[in-house]
Amino acid sequence: MGEVVKMALIATYPKVARLFLQLTAEKPGIEAVSKYASFERAVEIAKELERTGQADVILSRGGTAAQIKNAVSIPVVFIPVTPFDVIKIIHQLDPAIKEAAFIHYRKNVLGIQEIARMYQIRIEEYSFVNYLDIENAVKDAKSKGIRTIIGGEVAVRVAKNMGMEGYQISAGKQGVDSAIEEALHMLDEKRKEQKKALQMKTAYDSLKEGIIVMDEEDRIVILNPIAAKLLKNQYKTGDRAGEDVISKEYRDFCQKGRDVPVYLKQFGKAVYTVAHFPVFKDGRFMGIVSRMEDVTKIQEMEQKTRKELHFKGFVAKYCFEDIITEDSSMKKVVTRARVYSRTDSSVLIQGESGTGKELLAQSIHNGSLRREGPFVAVNCAAIPENLLESELFGYEAGAFTGARKEGKAGLFEMAHRGTLFLDEIGEISKNLQTRLLRVLQEKEIMRVGGNRIIPVDVRIISATNQDLKALAKEGEFREDLYYRLNVLEIKIPPLRERRGDIGVLARKFLSDYLSPSEEIEGILSLLSAYDWPGNIRELENAMERYGVLSAVLDPESFRQEEIGEILGISEVKREEKTMELAIPAGEGWNEIMCSVERQIARHYLEEFGNNQEMAAKALGIGRTTFWRKLKEN
């Protein structure tokens, strides 16, 4: 051992003291002190040694050692009596003595009866725990006609007081040396445990959460500074924990090995989550670990985690400047969306597939105060119902077969302080509709298989190509959820209702394949005549197909039918449309015709988003003629 050991002996006879000092002098690192004491004064001396720090460990014999052990907190080692020590006493007896009583502390000394047979003497054995036991043992021996007592200092004194012979047994070199080695080993182990305990205490003290460790009797073993402060410093280690630490109900739960639900508790002005964990070893209840964690710190940690997830890809790429349109109705949609982005209310975007609902949702997010937070998108129709719940709300470890052993955060948690975009919201089941409504109302979620409430700060933008209001009236969609989602509403017109954007978007999509100098006007009339049921997504795919083929083929060699097939719009179907015209009364034929032509030109100009060239081609006239018809009085 590297440290100096302070070892003390409390003996009732000098022979053991001499042996102790001799043996400890031969062992390096021991600072020895020997004290002589009667049985009655042994405890007083031991307490003084402990109080003054003169001893790390105390050695003594039998009953003296026992009463010292009960009085001090430092280790106490019993000096054993060996069979050899007994032989030395028996060997000194008068050969005329044929029986004796051997009184020793608690355990029998091995080999006593073998020694008795060897010396042809009867030895009656007695064990004691306290002074009264010694007196009773001597009286019993006397009543049996035994006149010789072998034992410690007290037994010999009692025997002599009763007119009997007493022989004090003394521990020999082997016993004293064995006790010294045991003391050294005991201190070594104790110091290792103290080092571990210090390391553990340092670790617990450095935590930013409150930790209390209690044993099976609810006595506090570890109490870190945070926990002590939360409990107003009314507890210290060794105290029995009260109801303000853990209630009787939760204590019973732990003792039975049952899970204790995490709950919230207020300490002063702060709110903490409190958790209790039972500790079992080999099926035996060993105690309870209680943890108190500041809700604010939890939220900060979750926010940090969510921010890391944000940097892994939960980012909105598009903003309002990326929305390309020359259509007046679409410009109104963008203007309204800009206004909505400044609020934190739920938005429902309605529109046919391919109209750009997610593009608009990302733009709203990037125009909001949540732009620094994550943008998490999920297509509710693309994920099976049994998986969508765990994707949205997450799950705890072991929640179901195939679950990750560490559990998984859901999309609501990942979108904390950001936006969650729920595409195809009309496809979710009634069960999920109920859970989603609760999240919108309470701003908190619970993972699948969990018992912990997790607060979330998420803005919901949802999108659908269905009539949710009609579905709600038919009972296919929760009406209360519909109104929660539809606080702010945006309807995106289909591409066929804003034909002026067809040419603008086609040029944009073709710019990745054709240079600006290349003429694409030859296909614009065909594009404008098609209704685009797949909307902008279908137009983009068609332009990609045309652009790729144009890179390897000569566009001028395409016949009109081939271009239609390439674009995937060979069967162009236009709705039968009519228009209302106002015929001026009382005018001449020329004036009437000019008015009719002017009204038709204006109608087509509006339909093609003020693009005179496309409007002229749709009417089958030249651009100059179209302009003249538009301006003629």
Q: What is the mean pLDDT of residues 146-160?
A: 90
How many residues are given for the chain?
633
- Contact criterion met (CB below 8 Å) for 418 and 370: yes
Helix runs in 26-145, H state only = 42-52, 62-69, 83-92, 112-118, 131-143
What is the per-residue pLDDT across 247-273, written as a single tens digit (0 to 9) for each? 888 888 888 887 677 888 888 878 888
Let me know if residue 201 belongs to a domain: no
Strand partners, 287: 215, 279
In this prediction, residue 100 has a pLDDT band, given cuts at 50, 70 and 90, of very high
Q: What average pLDDT score do residues 166-173 get? A: 86
314 domain residue, yes or no: no
- Tokens of residue 329, six digits: 């109705």
Describe the crossing of helices 535-552 and 500-510 by its angle, rounded to 10 degrees.
40
Helix (H) or strand (E) holding 308: helix 295-311
Cα–Cα dist 311/603, whole Å: 49
Instruction: Kindly report the CATH number assigned to the domain that includes residue 368.
Output: 3.40.50.300
What does DSSP assign to residue 627?
A: H
Determine the distance from the C-alpha atom of residue 434 to the mean position of all C-alpha atoms in its chain, rounded to a whole number.
Answer: 26
Output the pLDDT for position 531: 86
Do 262 and 389 share a domain, yes or no?
no
pLDDT value of residue 305: 56
Are residue 324 and residue 335 in the same domain, yes or no?
Answer: yes
**pTM above 0.75?**
no
In this predicted structure, the answer to whether residue 412 has a pLDDT above a threshold of 80 is yes
Q: Would the pLDDT of 406 be above 70? A: no
Mean pLDDT of all residues in 540-560: 73
Domain end residue (candidates: 170, 198, 221)? 170
CA distance 206 to 127: 51
Whichever domain contains 56, its CATH number is: 3.40.50.2300
Greater model confidence, 565 or 333: 333
Number of domains in the chain: 6
Does the pLDDT at position 436 exceed 50?
yes
444-458: pLDDT as tens digits: 888 887 778 888 899
Please indicate, yes or no, whether residues 165 and 103 belong to a single structural domain of this protein: yes
- Walk across the sheet containing 418-423 and list its strands: 375-379, 418-423, 458-464, 347-350, 488-491
What number of other Cβ atoms are within 10 A of residue 336's Cβ? 14
The CATH number of the domain where 528 resides is what?
1.10.8.60
630, 598 in Cβ contact below 8 A?
A: yes
Residues 400 and 465 in one domain: yes
| 282 lies in some domain | yes
Residue 226 belongs to domain with CATH number: 3.30.450.20
Phi-psi region of 573 (alpha: psi -120 to 50; beta: other; left: phi over 0): beta
Which has more confidence, 320 or 272? 320
Nearest Cα residue to 46 out of 75, 79, 22, 15? 75
Q: What is the DSSP letter of 426?
A: G
196-205 tens-digit pLDDT: 878 877 887 8
Name, in order, each residue with C-beta under 8 angstroms of 118's C-beta and a sequence gap of 6 or more.
none
**221 token code pair:** 């073993």
- Give the whole-angstrom CA distance, residue 278 versus residue 257: 6
User: What's the pLDDT at 323?
Assistant: 93
Together in a domain, 239 and 341: no
Statement to judge: residues 397 and 483 lie in one domain: yes
Q: Are residues 155 and 90 in the same domain?
A: yes
Domain match, 90 and 75 both:
no
Between these two residues, 565 and 212, which has the higher pLDDT value? 212
Pick from 10-24, 169-183, 581-595: least confident: 581-595
Mean pLDDT of 26-51: 88
pLDDT at 381: 84
Give the residues across from 148 on adjacent strands.
165
Residue 191 covered by a domain: no
Residue 312 located in a structural domain:
no
Confidence of residue 1 (pLDDT cuts 50, 70, 90): very low
Residue 503 included in any domain = yes
The DSSP element (H or E) to which 272 belongs, if any, is strand 270-281
State mean pLDDT over 400-410.
Answer: 65
The token pair that represents 42 in the structure block: 């042994």
Is 106 found in the same domain as 49?
no
CATH number for the domain harbouring residue 152: 3.40.50.10660
Residue 307 lies in a domain: no
* 399 band by pLDDT with thresholds 50, 70 and 90: low
Q: Are residues 37 and 182 in the same domain?
A: yes
pLDDT at 8: 93
Q: Is the predicted pLDDT of residue 355 greater than 80, yes or no?
A: yes
pLDDT tens, residue by residue, 61-94: 887 888 898 899 899 998 888 888 888 888 888 8
User: Tokens standing for 393?
Assistant: 């709300």
Name the token pair of 544. 């990609």
Residue 312, pLDDT > 70, answer no
Q: Are residues 401 and 472 in the same domain?
A: yes
Domain that holds residue 483: 320-491
Residue 24 lies inside a defined structural domain of this protein: yes
Half-sphere exposure of 4 (CA within 13 A, CB side): 8
Q: What is the pLDDT of residue 332?
A: 94
Instruction: For residue 86, give the nearest of 6, 172, 159, 144 by alpha carbon.
Output: 172
List the single range of 274-278, 306-310, 421-425 with lowest mean pLDDT: 306-310
Give me the CATH number covering residue 610: 1.10.10
Does 337 lie in the same domain as 486? yes
Q: Render pLDDT for 477-507 as a digit per residue (tens, 0 to 9).
A: 999 999 999 999 999 999 989 988 988 898 8
Average pLDDT of the residues in 593-604: 83
Mean pLDDT of the chain: 84
